[in-house]
Chain A
Amino acid sequence: MNSEEKTLSNQAEAEETLESEAMIEVRDLTKKFNGFTAVDHVTFDVKESEVFGLLGPNGAGKTTIIRMLSTLSRPTEGTARIGGYDIVKRDNKVRQLIGLVSEKMIMYDRLTAKENLRFFGKLYNIPKNILNPRIDELLELVQLGKWKNSKVGTFSTGMRQRMNVIRALLNMPKVLFLDEPTLGLDPQSTVEVREFIKKINRENKTTIILTTHMMNEADRLCDRIGIIDHGKIVTLDTSTNLKKLVSGDDATVMKMEIPNLTKKLVTSIQALDCVKSVTQENSSHLKIHATGDEAFDTIIDAVRTAKARINSVENLQPTLEDVFLYITGRKMRDKADNKIPMGNNRQGMPRRRIR
């Protein structure tokens, strides 16, 4: 952990302990698989009824964190407490408090919706007279009421994911873990699931930790976001504050359409002092992060000097995607000496990108 990251996470931690008692406390949580460190001394707190997002690319360690917190995987080092209970020593207590929506569907295809929910409900020792109405209620809530006696195997992906979410709500958990809840869903189902997550959080005051590699998802759902990369939390803050990181001070993000874009031109823009990073989005569009008051002028001059035409220039509000690029991009530059690693065909594409 470099010193900068440490201060960031420490700051966040300090803020929380002052404000309210944490529902989830994670301290130096570490997981190693045969010498490979998947999660590296992660420390954060989540307040009660907060929606906390873990944002990062595939393989960053998000799922491993969720698996450790939901008692499915044993930490190599460090501790975590949920509702005051240690996740290792009091695992059964923790299990009563939590619900897990895993990346994989936890559903048996050959059983009906109702049978599935009844099976899992029984594992929580919920008495029949409470469980049955609750199952009906949950199924109605996600508009699956009329499918309750159909086998889950016949459901569409969207229906399955809604089932997957309500399955985790059977025990009315205080803490809900959602691992990539909208992965592989069509836009409409994605919106539905997101709305449902918000609703649960609002109405039941459920504390939610969700992982995603989708920036807009984290942006829309989460009160606070921890950006995770290579098993470490590199930044942790609210979405607004994170964006300020990028746009704050004198940073500019612009999108430029250049019909006769060349590899040489991209290289020359990268070489400018004010430019922090360049992303080529397609054959004619460039996204440029720059700093300084004269960034606009400098870049446009450079393009004009190279005899390239500019069709349009757009000044963008930074997104979380930019935040990620900004943070991890800088990290990459710390290691290697060039600004942007160059691909063979697709010039100016950063090696690590968020989908």
Chain B
Amino acid sequence: MIKMGAKTMLSHSFRIAWKDLMELFRNRMGLVLLILMPIFMMTMVGFIYPSETSLNNVSIALVNEDEGFGDYSLSSAFITALEAINDNADMMTLTDASSLDDVRDLIQTGDAEGGIIIASDFTANIMSRKQGTVTIVTDQSNPQMSAMIQAVLGEVVEQMGTALAQQNIVDELGIDLSNALAVVKPYDIQVKGSIEGEFSYFDFIAPGIMAMTVMMSVMTGLPAAISQEREVGTLDGMMVAPINRLAVILGKTIAQMARGILQGTLILVLAMTLFGVTVHGNILLVFALLLLGVFSFVGLGVVLTSFAKDQETAVMMMTTIMFPMMFLSGVFFPVEQMPWFMQSISKVLPLTYVADALRKVMVLGADIPALTTELSILIVFGAVMTAIAVPVFKRAMTR
């Protein structure tokens, strides 16, 4: 009897899901947006979030104030070396400027984003065995850019300095080039990840975005779908039929989940083809995690739906919750960067664990045993939310 009931309930759920998906696929505009959204999201995040060395054609004003030492000028050699490095990396466009004030003007008008000034006593100092001064001018109105220019130019100048020092030592001590490097820079730093391969910020963010998109689909889609049907009146048509009330939630969830997984897959494909993300773990496990994530969210969505009187309220409630969730669950920024109270909030958000687990699987190739904590938290969270949601929904439907 109970088994029979479960079977008919499932078949009703699939009916409702089929009907919802049918409506979705007949809505051309909606379908286009559905596909465009992850594409936009991916390209935005993928191209905008930079890795450290990705300065590209930044215009830098170059001021050479060096007066030389007699006939001798080291600054022209410096500039030649700088241009040689730049020719390879294409990081910046060098423009000539006459003075610091000139650089400032250029920055103000937006014609330059930073500047390099070679001091007037550059050659003189170096020739008299002192340090030559190179000043890097940055644009404080754009802190991120400023930090980047500072770091990159600093590194370039540093490199050039090292090369010069190396050469000097070769000349003075008469040892060979590689030994000279050991004298100038005694430490060789090497960075190794826990697994082989090159990783970018994108590898960090792709699993998070996937998790977020799927959750967002379900979280905004479910209340919108239920309250929209309630407003239009079609929900009554289902409620007046002798079906289990749960079939309505389940059916709607299946439909929204299918929608979310579709978007998630699209993101994964884009991430792999456009941004070179590789999935190191089991891809089935990735999808299983997404499903589990949905399960942990659905209850919350249903509870909110039950409280919302109309579609507008439902969507507003969802957006209000989604936003902090997006930023607090470490999708875009590592949780460890946040102040302690935000970290505590982050610990109670299911998205945190979905994103974490997904990252472990996709980047680190983790297996189920490595995910025990995340999995159990998600299951418990989902079970508790569902237990609350079902009676609340039943009550709300017969208001």
Chain A residues within 8 Å of B, Cβ to Cβ: 70-74, 92-93, 95-96, 98-100, 102-108, 110-111, 115, 119-120, 122-125, 151, 167, 171
Contacts and interface: CB of A to CB of B under 8 A. Distances in A.
Tell me which of B26, B233, B239, B241 has the highest count of chain A C-beta atoms within 10 A of its own C-beta.
B241
A102 B19 contact: no
Interface string B15-36: 1000100110011000000000
Given A74-B398, A115-B22, A123-B243, A107 B238 contact: no
A260 B300 CA distance: 68
B233 A72 contact: no
B399 A123 contact: no
B236 interface: yes
A103 B19 CA distance: 22
Contact of B239 (A72, A115, A125): A72
B338 to A, nearest CB: 42
Contacts of B239: 71-72
Interface in B67-98: none
B240 A72 contact: yes
Contacts of B44: none
Return the 5 tightest CB-CB contacts between A and B, nearest first: A104-B233, A106-B237, A123-B241, A95-B242, A110-B26
5 contacts: A100-B236, A104-B234, A120-B241, A123-B241, A171-B241
Interface in B347-399: 397-399
A73 B399 contact: yes
Given A74-B398, A111-B19, A123 B236 contact: no
A71 B243 CA distance: 12
Interface string B142-174: 000000000000000000000000000000000
Contacts of A171: 241
B236 A72 contact: yes
A102 B240 CA distance: 10
A104 B236 contact: yes
A73 B23 CA distance: 27
Interface string B217-259: 0000000000000001110111111110000000000000000
B237 to A, nearest CB: 4
Given A100-B237, A106-B234, A122-B11, 14 more contacts: A70-B240, A72-B236, A73-B399, A95-B240, A95-B241, A105-B234, A108-B234, A110-B26, A110-B27, A119-B15, A120-B237, A123-B238, A123-B241, A123-B242
Nearest to B397: A72
Contact of B233 (A93, A102, A124): A102
A105 B236 contact: no
A96 B233 contact: no
B104 interface: no
A119 B239 CA distance: 13
Given A74-B399, A108-B19, A92 B242 contact: yes
B265 interface: no
A98 B242 CA distance: 10
B12 A123 contact: yes
Contact of A122 (B15, B26, B27): B15
A108 B232 CA distance: 9
Given A73-B399, A125-B8, A107 B234 contact: yes
A151 B11 CA distance: 24
A61 to B, nearest CB: 15
Contacts of A103: 233
A123 B233 contact: no
Most A CB within 10 A of own CB, among B239, B240, B241: B240
Chain A CB count within 10 A is highest, among B15, B23, B233, B237, for B237
B393 to A, nearest CB: 14
B240 A105 contact: no
Nearest to B243: A123
Contacts of B27: 110
A354 to B, nearest CB: 24
Nearest to A120: B237
A110 B234 contact: no
A167 B237 contact: yes
A119 B398 contact: no
Contacts of B399: 73-74
A122 B9 CA distance: 12
Contacts of B238: 123
Contact of B23 (A95, A110, A120): A110
Given A95-B242, A98-B240, A123-B238, A104 B26 contact: no
B3 to A, nearest CB: 16
Contacts of B11: 122
